[in-house]
Homo-oligomer: A and B are copies of this chain.
Amino acid sequence: MAHIQDRPIGVFDSGIGGLTVAAALRRRLPGEEIIYLGDTARVPYGTKSSRTVNRYALECALFLFNRGVKMIVVACNTVSAVALPRLKSVLKVPMIGVIEPGVAAGLKASKAGRIGVIGTPSTIASGEYQRLLLQNDPGIQVSAKACPLLVPMAEEGRLKGPVVDLALNEYLGPLRRQKIDTLILGCTHYPLFKEAIGGVLGEGITLVDSAEAVAAEVEGVLLRESLLRTYGPGAMLCCVTDVPRQFGRIGRTFFGEGLGRVHRVTLGEGF
């Protein structure tokens, strides 16, 4: 390729949840080429150890790096929470995770300074959201809650209905009692539940979708580094380590449009 601007943005996730981030990138930066990688053969990461997540994350990032991406977006909250510093220390390519943009957007959205965060057990246990929120504004009140059933529900396409509402009521009840005015959706799967969450929380609570915040941050990085591709249209190449049952149907739910041809790839090939 003649210009570095023409190189693709690499986006990876443990599975297909990160397609919500890829979709936000497509909307905001339609000129950009994207390579999406979902490690569907080993999904989920959120229940695995930090050591294993670090190994998997490095293999994903290397796969994208080896394909000459101009930037890497870690579209997985678990990887962002437990492996991002190590990834950044290894690979010479601009890289962002999803937590810092979500934190910035949450702080901007909150009027009353009472912010809730929901995520996978690993993400919430890492304390990264809580730490970064309070580091940026020690005066706010932060309430965090792990929602372990939401990812499996999203992956089977169950986005509303009585079981979803009952689980959400249980998860969000403590946050509602803390009178949060803003809720950060700290998992790439959760934007799919926006409607159900809104129904359970009622009006007056702002939902912060980190996918949109990440896309804005990517634009900022590309602008600063003179890496923006302003002509287009860009295409997206979708790679997965396994093509699971119902991949097309569920992928469309996450991405908002058809994924075209999906490529099955193998990780672990090193530099």
Write the residues of chain A forming the contact surface with B, with a CB cutoff of 8 angstroms: 40-42, 47-49, 51-52, 121-122, 125, 148-149, 151-153, 155-156, 158, 162-163, 166-167, 170, 241-245
A47: chain B residues within 8 A (beta carbon): 155, 244-245
Q: Are A52 and B48 in contact (CB under 8 A)?
A: no
Q: Are A163 and B167 in contact (CB under 8 A)?
A: yes
Q: Are A156 and B42 in contact (CB under 8 A)?
A: no
Q: Are A48 and B121 in contact (CB under 8 A)?
A: no
A122: chain B residues within 8 A (beta carbon): 245
Closest 7 CB pairs of A and B: A152-B152, A52-B242, A148-B156, A42-B42, A163-B167, A48-B242, A163-B166
Q: How many copies does the complex hold?
A: 2
Complex CA distance for A156 and B166, rounded to whole angstroms? 17
A125: chain B residues within 8 A (beta carbon): 245
Q: Are A156 and B121 in contact (CB under 8 A)?
A: yes
Complex CA distance for A192 and B245, rounded to whole angstroms? 26
CB distance from A153 to the nearest CB of B (A): 7
Q: Are B163 and A149 in contact (CB under 8 A)?
A: yes
CB distance from A40 to the nearest CB of B (A): 7
Q: Are B40 and A245 in contact (CB under 8 A)?
A: no
Q: Are B170 and A163 in contact (CB under 8 A)?
A: yes
Question: Chain B: which residue is nearest A56 at the CB level?
Answer: B41
Q: Are B244 and A49 in contact (CB under 8 A)?
A: yes
Complex CA distance for A153 and B152, rounded to whole angstroms? 9
CB distance from A266 to the nearest CB of B (A): 11
Complex CA distance for A125 and B155, rounded to whole angstroms? 17
A52: chain B residues within 8 A (beta carbon): 41, 241-242
A158: chain B residues within 8 A (beta carbon): 149
CB distance from A269 to the nearest CB of B (A): 14
Known contacts A42-B42, A243-B49; is-contact A166 B162 (Cβ 8 Å)? yes
Question: Chain B: which residue is nearest A247 at the CB level?
Answer: B49
CB distance from A1 to the nearest CB of B (A): 33
Residue in A41, A151, A243 with the greatest tally of chain B CB atoms within 10 Å: A41
CB distance from A189 to the nearest CB of B (A): 13
Q: Are B162 and A152 in contact (CB under 8 A)?
A: no
Complex CA distance for A151 and B125, rounded to whole angstroms? 21
Question: Chain B: which residue is nearest A152 at the CB level?
Answer: B152
A153: chain B residues within 8 A (beta carbon): 149
